[in-house]
Structure 1
């Protein structure tokens, strides 16, 4: 298992469009992937789970991956978050 703490930088956080991008990317990997925020943990492969978390700009989340491609999954998802989830600032 690998994990990394990241801060969400895009203006509106993980709202519909960036959440969909995040989940789509997570689903490309075989590993189990989770997002943790405070005491909540959801599957990064579930659009409803990700949206229910209410991750806003400046929120600190932990991305956790476990499986055969865990390192690649973690790196790709962290990069997406660090690059404002593909949205303009």
Structure 2
């Protein structure tokens, strides 16, 4: 299916937060950076609260701890690609639990 087929249609995907600290500041920043790489608009919903996928503070307000699920909705030309990239980011624990970023203080 061509990318332009999703221009006006929303795609959604449930994602489970699996890193040890949840969707905290650093993880939220990585989520936002990933979202901004694509030509798509992203919204994230948890327990009835919806925030923009480019808002670090909004994502943190969701209080999505380890094991919680979020619904990610994407619209736009690269909706499928952004969902795939975000799912990969979340599935690999935002690369935090393996790369020592927390110890190094990297943002």
Q: Same fold (TM over 0.5)?
A: yes
Residue 91 of structure 2 aligns with which residue? 82
Residue 56 of structure 1 aligns with which residue? 65
Q: Provide the alpha-carbon RMSD of the alignment.
A: 1.0
1:21-36 paired onto structure 2 within 5 Å = 21-36=30-45
Shift of 1:38: 1.3
For residues 21-45 of structure 1, the C-alpha deviation after alignment (integer angstroms, 9 at most, x for no partner) is 1111111112110111010110111
Residue 69 of structure 1 aligns with which residue? 78
Unpaired runs of at least 5, structure 2: 1-9, 99-107
TM-score by length of 2: 0.79
Residue 44 of structure 1 aligns with which residue? 53
Number of residue equivalences: 89
